[in-house]
Each structure stands twice: as C-alpha cells, then as structure tokens.
Structure 1
Amino acid sequence: MFMRNLNLRLLKNNIIEKIETGGSTREFYRCKYRNKIAILVIDPDIKKYLRVHKHLLNGHINVPRLYWTDKAKAALLEDLGTISLYVIFRKQPELFYHRKAIDMLVSMQKKCSSKFPIAERYDRPHIKWEQKYFKKHFLFQYGQVEQTAIDKTKDEFAELTDQVLRSIQDHDGFFMHRDFQSQNIFVKNNKIRIIDFQSARIGPLTYDLSSLLRDPYADLTISQERQLLDHYFKKIKPQKIPLSYDQLIAMYRLTCIQRNMQALGAYANLALNKGKKHFLKYIPRGRQLLMQGLKECNFERLLEIVQRSRGAEVKRRF
C-alpha cells in the first residue's frame, strides 16, 4: 500500500529510534505513522535504490514493501524486524535458512539478470578497485605492511585479476547483489527477505555465493560449505548453464578471494576511519577465510603478505 500525503518533515516528527546499521553510510530510522511501524531511509542516492527495488519486485523477489518516497533522498519501507540469517545461525547453526537463501539467490539470478536498469558491471576496473581498497585499508592501514612490500606483489595481484576474469568470462552476465551475506538476509513469516541491494550490478555467477558461504559473520564449517555448494549446483542444473561442478568450484574459489579482500578492506576502513570499532572482531575470521582461498588457488606470495599483517592470530582450518 503506497501512502500519499506524506512528507519527510512529518515522518521525522514520528521517529521512534535511529537504527545503527553495519557499514552503510545511509541513515535509517524506525518510525510510526498511521499505526504502522516502518523504516525511514535517508539516502542521497535513493533513485538508484528505487530502480533496483522495482527491478527485483518485477522479478517477484521478496524485498521490503515501499510505502512512500520523495524520489529525491528518502523512502519509507516495510520494517522486516530483527531476525536476520546472522541472528538465526548464531542461535542454531543449522542450514535450513541458508538453503532457502540459496534458493532465493538462484531465483534472482534466473529472473533478474536481463534488462537490469543499472549500467555498472563486475569487470576489470571493479576487480582492481576491490584490490586497491584491500591493500590501502587492510594491508597498509590495519596490517601495517610496508608499502614497498605491498608494491612488490603487483604482479601477483595482476595474475589474480586475470585468473578471475578468465574463470568468469562465460558466466558473468548474472544479477549480483554484491553484499549477499547473513546480515542482509532477513526472515519474516518464514520467508527470506533481501535488503541492502542498492549496489547491485551484473556480474559473475559465484560472487554472491562466495559472499554467503565464506561470510565472516557466519562461521560455516567446511562440511556445511560443501553441502551448500552441492545444493546450489543442484538448483542451477535445470537452467542448463554450461558449467561442470569442477568449473563451479574453481570460479567460486577465485571470487571468494576477491570477496574476502573487499570485506577485509571494508572492516578495516569502517573500524579505523569511521569509528565503527565493532568491525574489528570480524577481521580474524575474514583473514582466515582469505588465507584459505589464497592457499587453495596457490597464490603463495599473496598468502605470505596477508600472514605478515598484524592483528589477532587466527586458527587455521586448512
């Protein structure tokens, strides 16, 4: 139901609380209007959010209902509550809702990959941006690795970029949420609901899968990860994507490296530059997952430089 005769000033007068979110620079408030609790979002780039929101709705994807927007910088959205996949898995580390999240991912990739309204793609410039972000904030700023040592890994980062692009070249035309992790997946009325999709673009088949299964917020075991990979492969089979299981795993491992680099760069930046110190607690697990991926793909020099970064030592699982 779209609410008319609303304005931002009126909504601000009915705010209940400010919601402290993860890494977002947007502002979120829980407010009450006409006996309805809803989420007020303040975002200078709200038009992009609205375009992706409409696209997902057209694909019958479960996203928050839109009650009102000024089409400039604000929107009033359905309140999905506080039960995220992150909360559920911490209480009971079973895979029921992870499987449902994978089903939703497959549905998004099937229904929302064509006629996507945003021009950005996951391409060489974006891969290099993720690596630069990781080197600047995690290796140099958080890890205190010397810049000269980082510069000496230039060829290894270039090789990683080339390997990622080669692995995804026939499978890079899919809807990509870009932050498909447990804190952006909610459960309401036993249904998976998706938030924080404003950075979506067209990209590789496995990037969102990497975000979900090697998520520093949710400590999946290696056995659980394998079960979910098997579930994903089974779900995409009816689409007749020309991809073997071994090809899926090879592409998945490379996008895991990229995803964990991006996540570690974000955690370090948010903690050290944005005052969000609680992100520091996710760095050891993210670092462990990155080292696992680098070892799997034989990037020995990159593994060495990550091991040199300071911070809490992690217990390796490989």
Structure 2
Amino acid sequence: MNKKEGLMLENLIKDKDICDYFKNRSYTLEGVSSDASKKLFYRILLEDQRENCIFMKLEEKPSAEDVRKEDWYNLSKILTQSNIRCPDVLACSEDKSQLVIEDCGQLCVQDLINKLIAEDNQKGLDDLYAKCFSFIFKFLSFSSNSKNQATWEKRSFDNILLKKELLFFREHFILKNQIDSLKFWDERSFLEDVDRLCASVASISSYFTHRDFHSRNLLVSKDDLVVIDFQDARLGPSSYDIVSLIFDPYVELDLSRRKEIFDMFFSLAKNFLPAKVTDEILNSWKMVCLQRLLKALGSYAFMEKEGKKSFTNYILPTLKTLNDLNLNDSRWEFLSHTLSYELLYAFSE
C-alpha cells in the first residue's frame, strides 16, 4: 500500500485480469499528473523488478464524440506494428478502458527543448527536432500505405469538428473575456470566416494525424522518444502535426528559430516524403496553423475555468505567434488579421 495515497490496486481496478497480473506482488502506488487529460494515471512501483509500470483508466465518456474507450489500445497496436514507438500494453481490461502500460518516465520533450534553449545548444536542439520529425514522416507514409480500415481512418477533421473547435474558442475565450463587447468585434464576419476556413481545411484531411502532436506528448525514455495521448488520431491535413510541433506554445523558442527548424523539416522531408506531400504541407500550413492556434486559445481558457491556472501562461505567447507568423489570408480576413491583431493588443495592455 502507498501510505501517501492510501490506496490498493483492488480499490482502483475492478478487472480480474489486471488484478491477477499483480497478484502476490509487492508494489507502491504514486499518483501521476494528467496535465490537460481527464484520464486517471497511477505509477505502480513493483518491488520485484527494476521497471515500473503505469495504470491508466480512460474516461467513461470520452470528450470527443467519435472516440471510444478501446481506441487507445487499438491505436497502440497499430502504431507498434508500424514501428512507431509508444508505450507497450502489459495488461488490460476486457473493454480496454483500464490498462497497465509501460512506464516511459516523466521527462517530456518540452523539458528537454527548454533545457537545450537555456544551454544555447543549437545542435542538440536540431537533433532533437529531427527525432521528432521521424514520427511525422512515419505518420504520413503510414496513412498513404495503410491497408486496413483502422480506427483513425473512420473519422476525420471534417467540417463539423473543425467548426465545433472554433465555436468552442468563441465560447470559452471570446465570450469569457468579453471580447465580443469590443468595438472591432464582428460576429457575422467571424462566423463567415469560420465557415470558409473550416471547409478549406476539411477538404484536405486525408492523412494520419495524431491530433495533439506537441512537446508534452512526446516522452524521453532511455534516449528514445515515445509518443503518447494518440487516442484521438484521425484523418487530417498533411501539415497538421508539423504545425502542432513547430508552433507549440509550450516551448520558449523565438519565431526566427522556429522558422529555421521548419526549414530543416522540409530539407529532411525530401528523403522521406513524396514531393506531392511536401508541396501540400507548404501550401496548407498557414490556414491549418490559424485554426490550430485559435482552437488552442479556447482550450487554455477552458482549462483555466477548470482550475488549471498554469495554462493561462500560454495565451500571450500564442497570440504573439499568431501575429508574428503573418497568417493573413483574404479568404478569412477577419480571423487571420483583424482578430489576431486586436486580441494581442487587448491582452498586451
């Protein structure tokens, strides 16, 4: 029993198969932070072996309507079979909602990137991002070569989902901060731009996308990188995951350095991706980035409302990135120019 938590596995786990996995074994439980996730995590320190493991209980009702409890398990198998490193499954309940998985440690790529930045280790930073890119190269090749109608191929960043995310941004960021009361706000222009932007992004959603491929969802384990939090994977734009990684608000990179790393991605991509795919990324990344960063602002505001105040630290950096990237597009002028500029002005005062 863990004296701090005061819990036994039997109190957490109702599944017989998982309980049997730990039968007659001494262990200690430690709570693990779930960050923005609603999943429940406990680290299980086994006294009879050097390696620990993680007990993960998935949401009873996943937040995304098209995500099922068994998706984490099914996608982990697909990724592993495709040589994409993710935590191994050691035991699971029959419905796949409770799993014991490999413990890949607590160090995430966010920690390592910020450490390398502080040390001014530019080569180390380039090498680390190149390792991250290897996941994206596999994701994009995987989608075009897949022979199975897997979980992620049955759902996509369609018009409905993309619009839902931007209306979520409107509800939790715009209305919460009373932005709609400011002089520049134009509800009609906002909604019309949302329609046009989301239709354009949805029209190119034909590749495997992790959906949340940023520095907190990559763990550093024994000099290897391990991807996590992939249960929402779906068909999406070829540029979605690279935009999520390069313009990740969780890391403290200036814009010029981000652009250098983006250029490095394209240089390396020539060796792994068809020219057609790299051209698609080049042509679509700006509109995908606009939708992604606005969606992120809504998520940060919602997390603050849920009591996770640390997420407010990423609002101003995200607004600065939106402006500095110059994502202006006449097709959605209000979203890409007016709104981005006015929000930065409002939050900088």
Same fold (TM over 0.5): yes
SS at match of 2:134: helix
CA–CA separation in structure 1 for the residues paired with 2:225 and 2:143? 17
What is the alpha-carbon distance in structure 2 between the residues aligned to residue 90 and residue 307 of structure 1?
27
User: Aligned with 2:151: secondary structure?
Assistant: coil
Q: 1:59 corresponds to which letter in structure 2?
A: S
Partner Cα separation in structure 1 for residue 322 and residue 30 of structure 2: 36
- 1:24 is aligned, of 30, 33, 37, to 37
Looking at structure 2, the residues matched to 293 and 163 of structure 1 have their Cα atoms a distance apart, in angstroms, of: 19
Q: Of 141, 145, 149, which residue of structure 1 is paired with 2:180?
A: 145
Identity over the aligned pairs, expressed in percent?
23
Equivalent residue in structure 1 for 2:94, among 65, 71, 85: 71
8 A contact 2:21–2:91 mirrored in 1: no
Residues 95 and 155 of structure 1: is their aligned pair in 2 closer, same or farther, counting only changes over 3 Å?
Answer: same
Unpaired stretches in structure 1, ≥5 consecutive residues: none
Q: Tell me if structure 1 keeps the 8 A contact 2:290–2:327.
A: no
| Correspondences of 1:194-209 after superposition (within 5 Å) | 194-209=227-242
Higher alpha-carbon Rg: 2
Comparing 196-205 with 119-128, which one deviates more in the overlay?
A: 119-128
Alpha-carbon RMSD across the aligned residues, in angstroms, is: 2.7
Q: Distance in 2 between matches of 1:128 and 1:293?
A: 22
Matched to 2:289, the amino acid is C
Instruction: Say if 1:112 and 1:175, in contact at 8 Å, map to a contact too.
Output: yes
Mark the runs of 5 or more structure 2 residues left unpaired by the alignment: 1-15, 61-67, 118-124
Q: Deviations over 1:92-122 (max 9, x none)?
A: 1223211110112111221355223232111
2-structure distance, mates of 1:173, 1:141: 34
Counterpart of 1:51? 74
Measured after TM superposition, the shift of residue 226 of structure 1 is: 2.6
One-letter amino acid of the counterpart of residue 56, structure 1: L
The aligned runs of 1:31-50 (5 Å cut-off) are: 31-33=44-46, 34-35=48-49, 36-43=51-58, 44=60, 45-50=68-73
The match for 1:120 is 155
> For 1:136, which of 171, 187, 196 is the aligned residue?
171
The structure 2 residue matched to 1:108, chosen from 139, 145, 149, is 139
Note if 1:313 corresponds to 2:342: no
Aligned to 2:107: 83
Give the deviation of 1:300 after TM superposition. 3.8
Q: TM-score, normalised by structure 2?
A: 0.78
Q: Given the two structures, how large is their TM-score scaled by the length of structure 1?
A: 0.85
Q: Which residue is equivalent to 2:128?
A: 97
Distance in 2 between residues matched to 1:66 and 1:122, nearest whole Å:
28
Give the match for residue 285 of structure 1: 317
Letter aligned with residue 334 of structure 2: R
Change (3 A) 1:207 1:276: same
Contact 1:179 1:197 in 2 (8 A): yes
